[in-house]
Amino acid sequence: MAAENKRHEEHQYLEAIRDVLEYGEERDERTGVGTLALFGRMMRFSLRHQTFPLLTTKRTYWKGIALELLWFLSGSTDSKELEEKGVSIWKGNTSKEFLEERGLCHYERGEIGPGYGFQWRHFGAAYEGCKSDYSGKGVDQIAEAIDKIMKNPTDRRILVSAWNPPELTKMALPPCHYAFQFFVNVKTNELSCMMNQRSADMGLGVPFNIASYALLTHMVAHVTGLNAKELVHVLGDYHVYKSHIEPLREQLKREPHPFPKLNFKREVESIDDFQFEDFELLD
């Protein structure tokens, strides 16, 4: 009976929204829409037994989640590569108009600058545009993290940062999810990840971010011979856009369903060899 009555982990997300709607401070912000916001929260999602925390009380863009993560891992800074695969989530923030407002008039449409994947795979390299070859340049933080997991699993420095202060003005958007750290339980052979997010859009972004880092943790566990255990999601400024209030009130009426399972269709040895077709969501 205890297992049957266990509280669904999605309620952490739903309760965070309720708290923002009830107690959030009205704030002006970059987009001009306005938000209700609170500061500081943690959510924990089990990844054991292939569990995949894709939220069930709203539609979540699985294809976009997986393809964006693979794009980050490639180190690419050209979002047109995503558009060619039917994913346009970066289109608005890499339009010529948006880039010009950021003072990045010299960037091509679709160019994000040295953000996310560039920092993950080439931290410290001089950014020379989205067409340049950065092979062997900068610090490959992903490769270093995987190497530490394999060779020194109790290291407290298995950490990847996308927050590179001198480079922030060169990015179309400074990273919202700016750092993550891995922890290996050597007794149980399990891998956990803690992700830190400075700015958390509860309506659209956070469901995407939860699934993205759950997928990343499962992938890293797979290539290092571990089992995925837990995703810890730390929120800084977590907020609801005023235009999302009514849709979220509707979402709060829904009861969560069991999370799906994530299956890898083949054995993958390198983090760089994953393809979208390797992922399968069950149930």
Catalytic residues: 176
Torsion of CA 77, 42, 190, 158, to 10 degrees: 50
13: Cα separation from own chain's centroid: 15
Sheet holding 227-241, edge to edge: 25-27, 35-46, 227-241, 190-201, 177-185, 159-161
Distance CA 47, CA 228 (A): 6
**Locate tokens 């002006």: which residue?**
28
Cβ-based neighbours of 73, under 8 Å, separated by 6 or more: 117, 120, 121, 142, 271, 272, 274
Distance CA 205, CA 24 (A): 18
Give me Rg for the CA atoms of the chain: 19
Q: At 148, list the tokens.
A: 């530490």
**Locate tokens 């047109």: which residue?**
80
Q: Environment class of residue 208 by beta-carbon count within 10 Å: exposed (0-12), middle (13-18) or buried (19+)?
A: buried
Question: Which secondary structure element, helix H or strand E, spans residue 46, and what is its range?
Answer: strand 35-46
Cβ-based neighbours of 28, under 8 Å, separated by 6 or more: 34
Closest CA to 111 of 81, 139, 134, 68: 81
Distance CA 196, CA 214 (A): 13
